[in-house]
Amino acid sequence: MSWSRGYCPVMVPFEEVLFQVRKALQVSPILLHELLRELHEANVFSTQYYQSLFKDGKIGEQRLCEVFCNDGEDLARRLSLPIWQNWDISQSILDLALSKEEDLVPSDAEWQDIAPDLMSELLPDNIISKYLESPESIEDDFDPTVLDNFPGDISTTCMPIPEDATFLDGVPAKKPKVVHKRRRKRGNSTANRKATVCPESPSNGSTPTIAPESSFHLSPTPFQHVLRIPFSPPLLPPSGGSPLQIIQTIGPYTPPLFGTVVPTGPTYVIVSPQCVSPGAQIFPLSPATGTVAPPELTGSVLPVGSSSDSACQGSPTVDTLSPTKDLQKHNDSTSPKAEKKIRPEAPECVKDYIHHTQSYMRDVCCSMRGGMGMESHYVDAHLVQRKLLIKSGKNANKCLEKELVVLSDSERKKAKLDRSQLFHNSDSKPKQSFALLGKAGAGKTTFIQRLCLDWASGSLPQFQFVFLLNCKILDLTQSNCSLKGLLLDLSMSPRCEDSDSVFKHILSCPDEVLIIFDSFDHIKDFEGLLQSPAKSHTNTKYTIKQLFSGLFQKEILSGCTLLIATRPKDVLNQVLRKMDSLLELCGFSPEDIELYTSKYFGDNTSLQESALKQIKNDRYIFSLCSNPLLCWTTCFLLEHQESGNDLPSTLTDLYQRATSKHLQLASLENSSLCKNRKLLDIPQLCKMAWEGFKNHDTHVNPASSTELLDCALKSGILTSFKTSECQKNHFADLFTQNLLSAVHLVQSKQVNEKMVVANSVVHQKKRKVQGESQDVLQRFVTGLVFQKAPDGVSILDSSVNIKAKRKAVETHLESMKPNDLLPARLLELFHCVYETSSAKFAKLLLKNLPDNLSFYGTQLCPSDVYVICHLLQYASTLKRTFSINLQDTCIPISGLKELVGLQCIKAFWAHTADTIGLWEDLHRSNDELNLKSAIEKFTLHPFKATEGYHIESLPVLVQIHREKKLPMSEPVSALDEGVPALRHLQRLEFELGVQNGPELFPKLVEALPSLQSLQHLDLEKNQIGDSGAEKLAGVLHYLKCLKLLNLSQNLIGDAGVEKLAKALASVPSLQSLSLYGNAIADIGAEHLALALPDMNFLLDLNIAFNKFTDLGAKKLGAALKNCTGMKSLELWNDCIPYGVFEHLRLQDPRIRSL
């Protein structure tokens, strides 16, 4: 029997699910929000529904708590339906939430560190009633010696309070209301006890009075035994103090627990009296600083509205001690204080292991690829702090490129960090999880090796232990694994002799442990990565995936630091939002390329100068060298190729030559293969690469030919990793494996044309977002199909006929429609066409391109910029011009300068700060001609501000426009007419939302007077309020061309509308005005009604869902009669009686309903 998605295969009754949801909703607010977030990440809740719960940030969280408190049953039923439909997924999440709530109960040791709070000492009725109503239990629990612990005078008694009794302030005591409850019928003895019980018994409904003597005495009633109830020491009466009080409260004070029913009976409070004479009252100390708590806090512990409030207010005032004297009095007290955590000293065996590990890492991590030394050849790469942009949508959490905010070039420079700043905590909350992002070849593994060397040399003193785990050789589904085995056996660490002692010390100081997961994108089984986390440090039955989940969710070794290295588009997407810090590894800058080249060739000065000259003269190769791996490949090729040979012109050619040279050198080292290179089974190696690509695996089958593996290892195509069990061989890098996979697709007779086309070029239909590996394979397949490599360089078998496959790819290229491609796919199409080295396909691509090119949101590296510029050069022969959107592309200023300089680019839109930087660069180089062209080509239309940096640079641009000069420079002739982009801007959408809108709106107002051609101004949902409306009203008279003004949902009230109404009459061209969903009342509606006749060209006014009543509606309806040009008026809201509204509609049909 098959089941549709979203419904549980096992039909669990809905009532049972509803019961579980009710229990889960009783968690604390922090865990409640975490529970809902986990259900959303598991696709139990849709993103739209989840965001509706928290759409206003903290305000939304408060509203959620209010909904739960006011109508928890309704919320439980609303949430239960999708949970029931996805019960197979939801069950484990709910169980995990319930277990987390149980963990919140402090242990006995933790209770000692918690400041006493009377509110936490409230006893539920089932405890007190048990003792009050059961004489047998009282007699059994009586301890005669307990009276010795209570100071007091035996002459003091507790007496009932007469009905006409008055307290010290003369206020008569109010008789509490008796709440009748259904109770189980009891015998006569119980009834007699209730009738004669003294005021301590809460069943009377009266509160005991405090005797004038400061003592405690048991009254001579049948209730003469002291109850052995679990009181905490703060509740016992101090020396010379008043007696204890048992007070019955109106309702329960303790929060509900899981699986329990909230008690409906009375709750009893044991109140410990404050000290009176002879000792002065002492307020409790603050645990953190020792300051005295204010009196209003000490008085808040009594139940509100109880009779004891009046008694306390009427008691004589006591003198409090000064803070200085108070501190002196409590030097030896047991008040909880913040104590610094004392760490156990590491045993000698642990110290020996740490020293041994550091020495081992110095030996293992000292060399880089190609046998180069880390100290001599490593070029320190910078890091960039990245930010997350949470987007709505069904698949928003599956695409990292849509979640990472693409920084501008100027912002990246500001956000750069050095390696030494990686674990620096600038915030109050310590960071414990770090993501190291970088494309293939960016140097993530080398950076981690450098980090391990830093630790081994003592540069990371905050960590005692560093464990490096290579995900290439980890099987996440491997069972029977423990945390101890993961850290000490599977990491890159030496064998530990006394593993028990070392692991015990690791558990004692988790905040001094750094765990690194390298090559995290190589894991295969990442479905449900954060489900079923490990919770025990000693259990040996976990999978590695469960151990990772436990570490990441702080279920085990809580406090340790995690560093996860991965590629931007791969598996980390599931946990990306929960990382404390996102860091991107930058590529090589032009200065880094020169430095690396000089280090690579070392003392060979002539070869070093020749190689650097060749790289600089080839713009494409120089752009590729921004990738450290490709830079090493280029240097390797220059080192071993014959002098005078040109550098490759495509990525396919570069890696084909490099791979061929690797195999050639390895063959020369093996005498048996030196004579006949064809003995190497290259097709078999290519087939293994393709099989690994399909399975997302870099592992090579160990059953392959020994000679083939030996040659591949010596050539560097494969690399070896030793584990405790065996030695595993893997492809050295993504580019090499993908090139061999492409060779298999192109020349294997078992692969048909359809398969080749499926893995070459991009496809029109939407598919799952492809990773970088797929992108590189497409380029290699397209390049190999069309490339004509010289003999001795190509690794393709010349005897294989690939004409049919070439024809199939050519037909597919000709049928492509670039108009329908997303920016990221359009970029990949540019790369594939470039790899063909065909002017025919370049012209065909340009012929089909839209007039408005957009790479919006796609991060462009130097090689991307070169490929785009190279292909756009063919536009001149086709007499085509384009507008190009480069916003949020992270394009460097050098690349922006190159693109803007093309004649076929008639307009461009880039980050404002980067554009100003481009102008300044051209001005410094005295290139006035290109400066004038760059100013004229820059456009802002249409301007859509979705991020803060879209607005932050706008005032600088306005200043340039007004002063007609660049910052910190003299007037520029190219700016004699200002900035055309500001003068010609017609549409502006301000979409920063509730968080950033109110803060950055004044910067927009500052720029508005310069936008003389603005016709469409959309300010919806920014909560600018009355103050923002007043600022806007001050500049509206500058907008002579404004036709549409949208001020919906901005919390504008009467004061704001009053200012706006006066200013709107100065905008003669205004045709559409929306004030929908604000807070306008009758006064505001009246001001707007007075201004309506002066808005001569206004056609549509939407003022629905505000707060004015029928009075305001009638005034607006009357004003509408004088506005003959208006077409519609929408003014419905809940405050207008329906009959009045219908009457207004009948009078004027232009008044519209919903």
Residue showing tokens 């049948």: 222
Cβ atoms < 10 Å from Cβ of 404: 19
Q: 894 with 944: CB under 8 angstroms?
A: no
Q: 975 with 935: CB under 8 angstroms?
A: yes
Predicted confidence (pLDDT) at residue 152 exceeds the cutoff of 70: no
In tens, the pLDDT along 84-141 reads 777 877 887 877 777 665 555 444 444 444 444 444 444 444 444 544 455 444 444 4
Q: 560 with 462: CB under 8 angstroms?
A: no
Nearest partner of 964 among 974, 949, 953, 951, judged by Cα: 974
CA distance 528 to 524: 12
Token duo for residue 536: 């025990």
User: In this predicted structure, what is the pLDDT of residue 184?
Assistant: 41
User: In this predicted structure, what is the pLDDT of residue 67?
Assistant: 58
Predicted confidence (pLDDT) at residue 668 exceeds the cutoff of 50: yes
CA distance 585 to 563: 13
Query: What SS3 state is found at 54?
Result: coil
Cross-strand partners of 581: 434
Nearest partner of 398 among 858, 778, 777, 41, judged by Cα: 41
Predicted confidence (pLDDT) at residue 1027 exceeds the cutoff of 60: yes
Q: 197 with 151: CB under 8 angstroms?
A: no
pLDDT category at 1150 given cuts 50, 70, 90 is very high
User: In this predicted structure, what is the pLDDT of residue 204?
Assistant: 39
- Cβ neighbours of residue 1109 under 8 Å, at least 6 residues apart? 1081, 1082, 1135, 1136
For 1142, list phi and psi in degrees, rounded to 5: -65, -35
- CA atoms within 13 Å, Cβ hemisphere of 900: 28
Which of the two residues, 708 and 783, has the higher pLDDT score? 783
User: In this predicted structure, what is the pLDDT of residue 502?
Assistant: 96
pLDDT category at 297 given cuts 50, 70, 90 is very low
- Percent of the chain past pLDDT 70, that is, above it, reads 70
Token duo for residue 1084: 């505001």
What's the CA dihedral at 304, 310, 315, 317 to 10 degrees? 50
pLDDT category at 675 given cuts 50, 70, 90 is very low
Average pLDDT of the residues of the chain: 77
In tens, the pLDDT along 1077-1096 reads 999 999 999 999 999 999 98
Q: Helices 628-640 and 590-601 meet at what angle, rounded to 10?
A: 40
Tell whether pTM > 0.85.
no
CA distance 708 to 98: 56
Domains of the chain, first to last: 14-105 (no CATH), 117-177+187-330 (no CATH), 348-586 (3.40.50.300), 851-939 (no CATH), 1015-1152 (3.80.10.10)
Quick one: DSSP state of residue 522?
Answer: G
CA distance 636 to 894: 27
- Cβ neighbours of residue 669 under 8 Å, at least 6 residues apart? 714
In tens, the pLDDT along 552-601 reads 999 999 999 999 998 886 455 667 778 899 999 999 999 999 999 999 99
pLDDT category at 62 given cuts 50, 70, 90 is low
- Cβ neighbours of residue 1066 under 8 Å, at least 6 residues apart? 1036, 1037
pLDDT category at 270 given cuts 50, 70, 90 is low
> What is the bridge-based pairing of β-strands 581-585 and 383-386?
antiparallel
Cross-strand partners of 728: 721
Rg (CA), the chain: 38
pLDDT category at 254 given cuts 50, 70, 90 is very low
Lowest-confidence segment of 379-393, 750-764, 1139-1153 by average pLDDT: 379-393
Token duo for residue 409: 């070039």
pLDDT category at 934 given cuts 50, 70, 90 is very high
CA distance 1075 to 1061: 11
Of 69-73, 118-122, 206-210, 509-513, the range with the highest mean pLDDT is 509-513
Token duo for residue 202: 């809460």
Lowest-confidence segment of 319-333, 555-569, 800-814 by average pLDDT: 319-333
pLDDT category at 28 given cuts 50, 70, 90 is low
Which of the two residues, 248 and 180, has the higher pLDDT score? 248
Token duo for residue 579: 């990382």
What's the CA dihedral at 396, 400, 404, 408 to 10 degrees? -120
Q: Break the chain down into helix, strand, coil percent, rounded to 5.
A: 45, 10, 45
CA distance 43 to 171: 61
User: In this predicted structure, what is the pLDDT of residue 1117?
Assistant: 92
Distances 548 to 142, 523, 541, 563, 1091 between C-alpha atoms, Å: 54, 12, 14, 12, 65
CA distance 320 to 280: 6
Give the pLDDT mean for 161-182.
42
Give the max Cα distance, the chain.
Answer: 120
Nearest partner of 1120 among 1086, 1088, 1093, 1154, judged by Cα: 1093
Cross-strand partners of 722: 727
- Cβ neighbours of residue 67 under 8 Å, at least 6 residues apart? 74, 75
Residue showing tokens 């699910």: 17
Helix segments in 394-468, DSSP class H: 400-403, 409-414, 444-456
